[in-house]
Amino acid sequence: MKTFLILFFSLLFTASSLNDARKANDAFRSGDYETAVSLYNQAIENNPNDARLHFNLGSALARLGQAEQSVRAFERAKELMDDPQQQAMADYNAGTLLSESEMYDEALDFFRNALRKNPNDPDTKHNYEMSVRKQQEQQEQDQQQDQDDQSDDDEEQDQDQQQDQDDQSDDEQDQDQDQNEDQGDGSPEDQDPRDHELPQPDEISQDEAENILNALEQLEREILENRKKEAEDASSSSDKDW
């Protein structure tokens, strides 16, 4: 895009009240834009409806990089102008300033207004076309940045999900370990005594049970008979002693 073309009105008034305006023009031409701004503001206080003072104030502010204040000065100058060519100049300056500030949407509005009033101006056409291309490039960069940000967000989300899965796996392992510890390691003190069943006697048949019972009865009879015999022998021995 072309360098900002400062469109500037030379004030040729001779009235003493516009002495500050002439000094402001001299400061502007010499590159002392801060002094120019101060003097233009003083001149505007005495001549608030002079469109050329507002226009040149906007040009000086643009040189200082004060885009917002500069655009306001150009808009005020346009309001006070009757000539469409001069209005187109104000729109051109404001559009170029905004385009250099990468505010392409606003810049294109001013360029369109300038082309409506002066459709054959080559500088306005050039800056308008350049602003359209710059706007498209900016939109493409924004879209690419959005895609990159989305990709980063997806990657971060995948990492978070993987971390959650790893944490869950660790929790499950800890839980299994706790359960194993609760169940014990198989030592006698960790086992329930009820888990140890006492040995059960071997089962015997009915015949074997009867034989055992008969043998016990026979043994009891023999014991009784022996006791009876011992008693009789004792009695007999006592009789002989007498």
Q: Does 136 reside within a domain?
A: yes
> By the 8 A CB rule, do 108 and 96 touch?
no
pLDDT in tens, 122-181: 999 999 999 999 999 999 998 888 888 887 777 778 787 888 777 777 777 777 666 666
Q: Choose among 34, 77, 81: nearest CA to 53.
A: 77
| Average pLDDT value for the chain | 79
Better pLDDT: 169 or 28: 28
Question: Domain containing 68 — which CATH number?
Answer: 1.25.40.10
Q: Does 223 reside within a domain?
A: no
Q: Does 54 reside within a domain?
A: yes
Q: What pTM value is reported for the model?
A: 0.58
Task: Work out the pLDDT band at 197, boundaries 50, 70, 90.
Answer: very low
What pLDDT, on the 0 to 100 scale, is given for residue 238?
52
Q: Does 28 reside within a domain?
A: yes
Cα(96)–Cα(74) distance, integer angstroms: 12
Percent of the chain clearing pLDDT 70 (strictly above): 69
Q: Choose among 97, 92, 79: nearest CA to 118.
A: 92
> By the 8 A CB rule, do 27 and 35 touch?
yes
Q: Does 229 reside within a domain?
A: no
Q: Does 234 reside within a domain?
A: no
Q: Does 114 reside within a domain?
A: yes
Q: Does 72 reside within a domain?
A: yes
Lowest mean pLDDT among 51-60, 75-84, 162-171, 227-236: 227-236
What pLDDT, on the 0 to 100 scale, is given for residue 204?
59
pLDDT in tens, 29-49: 999 999 999 999 999 998 999
> By the 8 A CB rule, do 77 and 54 touch?
yes
Range of the domain at 73: 16-140
> By the 8 A CB rule, do 66 and 33 touch?
no
Asked whether the predicted pLDDT for residue 239 surpasses 70, the reply is: no
Tokens 């009784």 label which residue? Answer: 224
* Number of domain units in the chain: 1
